[in-house]
């Protein structure tokens, strides 16, 4: 049973082509047995699949889309439409038992809707057995059944499964739309600007970052480290490495350090704040005394360190080397 579906296809933001493709199919009455919704995580694939399921079952559709008022639309909004099914991985995979249970359910006639609609969330998370059962369903689709496979990693699906589905492509959301959506959900405008540059076009990712207080804290810490770096002598550098080593979310702090350097490089190139991620506290960076030097080299050093730390290395030693090199890059010009 899906959760409450209140949205209509026309209300989906930033996916005009996908929505148009779906509405055209609905209007023409030629809806394929199976769709593959593909594109990055957190850009609206699942929402669109649910809106499509609702529209398919609407008894009084408007331009192909759900009316929002008929009994079927209301049941979907309440989250208890008997003909809309959602299959999500249990643990890390969609299990064969889940697919079998589904086969049994769609075998029954529809309760009241026009279509049995089945959403497969993270459809690529299927082992061979389950994938073969799904393939069978795709090869002999029950009448008036629409399967919607949703995946951010479609290449992981069997070729035979992919080829039996009509693809619908979802794209990363634009930064300006992300800002709007974040602000509508209560994020401050400054923070929304910042997160929209980090989230890779994914509202899901942006919201996850917005809700993660540690993430923003790590940004401050990263700037603190860089401020201290400009003043530190060799002894202080080594104790900074010891502190960094203890940092629970070291990777996040390093990512932020890299972004600070990236921002300075962008600023040097463009001479404007427009493309700077950390715009909201840019004054602090510009006020920094003694943070000059070869920032491109420094950025490269941080990214290399980040990669090295994923291997089984002496963490402290790698961090010491990084800070010493950053310090030296700071003297180059």
Residues 261-320 that bind Zn ion (CB under 5 A): none
**x/- binding map, residues 60-99, to Zn ion, per CB under 5 A?**
------xx--x--x--------------------------
* Nearer Cβ to Zn ion (58/102): 58
> Using CB under 5 A, which of the segments 59-67, 95-103, 176-184, 290-298 binds Zn ion?
59-67
Compute the distance between CA of residue 328 and CA of residue 316 in angstroms, rounded to an integer.
18
Q: What is the DSSP letter of 9?
A: G
Report, in Å, the least distance between residue 59 CB and Zn ion: 6
Per-residue binding letters, 10-49, with Zn ion (x by CB under 5 A): ----------------------------------------
Task: Kindly report the backbone phi and psi dihedral angles of residue 53, in degrees, each rounded to the nearest multiple of 5, phi listed first.
Answer: -60, -40
**Residue whose CB is less far from Zn ion, 25 or 276:** 25
Structure tokens at 60: 């009084």
Cα–Cα distance for residue pair 206/218, rounded to 1 Å: 16
Element (H, E) at 192: helix 189-198
Integer Cα distance of 33 and 141 in angstroms = 7
Give the nearer residue to Zn ion in terms of CB position, either 112 or 139: 112
Helix/strand/coil percent split, the chain, to 5: 55, 10, 35
Closest to 113 measured CA to CA, from 149, 80, 148? 80
Taking the complex as a whole, how short is the minimal distance between the CB of residue 139 and Zn ion, in angstroms? 32
Site for Zn ion contains 55 (CB under 5 A): no
Give me the least distance between CB of 84 and Zn ion, in Å please. Answer: 13
Angle at CA of residue 151, ends 148 and 155, nearest 5°: 120
Least distance to Zn ion, CB of residue 67, Å: 3
Residues of this chain that bind Zn ion (CB under 5 A): 58, 66-67, 70, 73
């Amino acid at each position: 049973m899906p959760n409450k579906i209140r949205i209509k296809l026309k209300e989906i933001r930033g996916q005009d082509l996908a929505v148009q493709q779906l509405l055209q199919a609905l209007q023409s009455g030629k809806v394929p047995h199976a769709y593959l919704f593909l594109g990055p995580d957190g850009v609206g694939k699942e929402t669109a699949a649910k809106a499509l399921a609702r529209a398919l079952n609407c008894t009084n559709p408007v331009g192909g889309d759900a009316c929002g008022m008929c009994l079927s639309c209301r049941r979907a909004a309440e989250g208890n439409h008997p003909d809309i099914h959602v299959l999500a991985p249990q643990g890390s995979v969609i299990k064969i038992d889940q697919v079998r249970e589904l086969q049994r359910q769609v075998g029954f006639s529809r309760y009241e809707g026009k279509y049995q609609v089945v959403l497969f969330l993270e459809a690529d998370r299927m082992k061979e057995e389950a994938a073969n059962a799904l393939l069978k369903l795709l090869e002999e689709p029950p009448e008036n059944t629409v399967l919607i496979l949703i995946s951010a990693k479609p290449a992981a699906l069997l070729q035979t499964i992919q080829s039996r589905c009509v693809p619908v492509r979802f794209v990363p959301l634009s930064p300006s739309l992300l800002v709007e959506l974040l602000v509508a959900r209560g994020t401050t405008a400054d923070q929304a600007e910042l997160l929209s540059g980090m989230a890779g076009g994914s509202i899901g990712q942006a919201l996850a970052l917005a809700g993660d207080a540690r993430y923003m804290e790590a940004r401050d810490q990263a700037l603190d480290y860089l401020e201290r770096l400009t003043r530190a002598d060799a002894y202080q550098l080594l104790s900074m490495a010891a502190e960094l080593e203890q940092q629970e979310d070291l990777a996040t702090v390093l990512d932020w350090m890299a972004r600070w350097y990236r921002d300075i490089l962008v600023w040097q190139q463009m001479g404007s704040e427009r493309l700077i991620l950390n715009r909201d506290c840019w004054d602090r960076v510009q006020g920094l005394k003694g943070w000059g030097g070869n920032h491109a080299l420094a950025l490269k050093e941080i990214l290399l360190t980040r990669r090295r730390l994923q291997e089984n290395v002496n963490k402290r030693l790698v961090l010491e080397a990084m800070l010493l090199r950053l310090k030296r890059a700071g003297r180059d010009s």
